[in-house]
Amino acid sequence: MRVGIIGILQESNTFIQGKTTLRDFQNDILSEGDSIRQKFQDSHHEIGGFFKGLQKLGIEPVPLLAARALPYGVIESDCWTHLMSRLDKVLEVANQLDGILAAPHGATVAENENDADGFWLRKLRIAMGDKPIVATADPHGNLSAMQSDSVDAILSYRTNPHMDQYDRGLEAAELMGDILNHKVKPTKATIYLPFAVNIFCQNSSEDPLKSYISRVESIRNKPKVLAVSVFVGFPYADVPQMGAAICVMTNDDFALAKKYADELAQVWLSMKKQFDPILPSVADSVTQMKNLTGPICALDMGDNVGGGSPGDSTILVHELIAQKAYPFFCVIADPEIVAQATAIGLENTGSFSIGAKHDRFHGFPLQINAKVSFLGDGKFSESNPTHGGFTQFDQGKTAILQTVEGNTLMISSRRMVPFSLNQLLSFGIDPRQYRVLVVKGVHAPLAAYKAVCKSIVRVDTPGVTSASLHRLPYKMRRKPMFPFEEIYL
């Protein structure tokens, strides 16, 4: 038996001005054939799990297409057309396959297709006919009917930070084997909830989501249940399918799947107000930090690179300086400053205007005098499992600036998700030397930063990934939808 492997992953923030281009995919992953095996088979990603799981079952993996770009703005129409043309080409061998394992993100938006994941999964269904398609998905996806209806089974990651992607890939491969060997017949019941889940409440190891997940586990362990997938949604994609969803899959028993899906939906909606907390101001959060034990992981929620933000917000840093919460460390994406630091040269001091180059939504440039202590490329690697399954990182040419107050600013020429402590350690930076580590994320970085931080503070900064959803100018979302309007059970 032969099973194809396809992955197209990009989390699209529709509130950001920039667009995701073909070069963004080329700079990350855009591969066909055996090069996919080389990139993923030993990774912590679900595609790595696909390879391992199929090989254990004696099923031949057939890598077809893998495309991934860092979260950012919507995909340009020309780029999307190119990706779909490549998908059509690799699907010409569909009649030679017994099934497909697919890895969509679930929150991909293109200029010419707002349900991009549903669009390409439907292409798979048309090409495969009634042959099985099993998909994994990020729980931050906005699950749509087109996505769910196009696959036989969909398995969301169970953790946030996403530490179980490889396991879900193995599970998907095992389920594919059971389907092909006629051991199970997956039957899904999916409920789409008019409910936007605040990013602040999306950590699977913290309440309220932790308590809800315990209810999910009680259903997942019941007889005839094959899987339960929870989608907290991606509120930074202003599309009609934005919101939470529940998908329960049983072995050939739709009534049972529907019963459990309804039950879990009702429980979630009854808890909805717990998922819309009142958050302190930026100033109050920094005041709180001054009374905590360091190092403190200060999560800059409004500039969450993993949610598509520009990575150049200065709002939190300005407040740290105003309250003299020293010393701090922060990474800011600003290629202009890297070029300036390069011109100034190592060990020399200059005057810099850093960050907030993308828009005023993310603050005003930071005016500082600083010494250039490092210049070089921004490549580093990670051998341990981290959120997203990433192992190789490249933030482009990098400069490190030191201020007289002892603060350190790492300036990258490309945005970088803060998923690995090696972003610091590889460049000789000891995170334990700082009182505050400004980290541009919400939950994902904790898989790395919990090892060195004694305190964690999530800061409700403005930005395109603001935790306060009322700040965002929605036009396409469903109505009514909580927390914007009241909804009832």
Residues 147-167: tens digit of each pLDDT = 999 999 999 999 988 889 999
Instruction: Find, among 53, 308, 90, 285, the residue nearest to 175 by Cα.
Output: 53
- How far, in Å, are 11, 65, 312, 471 from residue 361 at the CA level? 20, 37, 11, 10
What is the C-alpha separation between 264 and 261, in angstroms, rounded?
Answer: 5
41-50, 126-135, 238-247: least confident range: 41-50
Give the mean model confidence (pLDDT) for residues 410-433.
Answer: 94
Q: Which of 42-46, 122-126, 207-211 has the weakest average pLDDT?
A: 42-46
Q: What are phi and psi of 227, to 5 degrees?
A: -165, 155
Q: Which two tokens stand for residue 95?
A: 């009649």
Q: What are the backbone dihedrals phi and psi of residue 58, each rounded to the nearest 5 degrees, phi first?
A: 75, 20
Query: Which phi-psi region, left, alpha or beta, contains residue 311 (left: φ > 0; alpha: ψ -120 to 50)?
Result: left
pTM over 0.85: yes
Distance CA 396, CA 411 (A): 10
Residue 300 has pLDDT above 80, yes or no: yes
Q: What are phi and psi of 243, to 5 degrees?
A: 145, 180
User: Predicted confidence band at 388 (pLDDT cuts at 50, 70, 90)?
Assistant: low
DSSP 461: -
Q: What is the DSSP letter of 72?
A: B
Are residues 155 and 175 in contact, defined by beta-carbon separation less than 8 angstroms? Answer: yes
pLDDT of the residue at 135: 98
**Mean pLDDT, residues 199-216 taken together:** 95
Average pLDDT over residues 338-353: 97
Q: Which domains does the chain show, CATH number per domain? A: 2-275 (3.40.50.2300), 282-467 (no CATH)
Nearest to 438 by CA among 425, 449, 427: 449
Cβ atoms of residues 335 and 478 within 8 Å:
no
Cα–Cα distance, 9 to 11 (Å, whole number) = 7
DSSP code of 468?
Answer: -
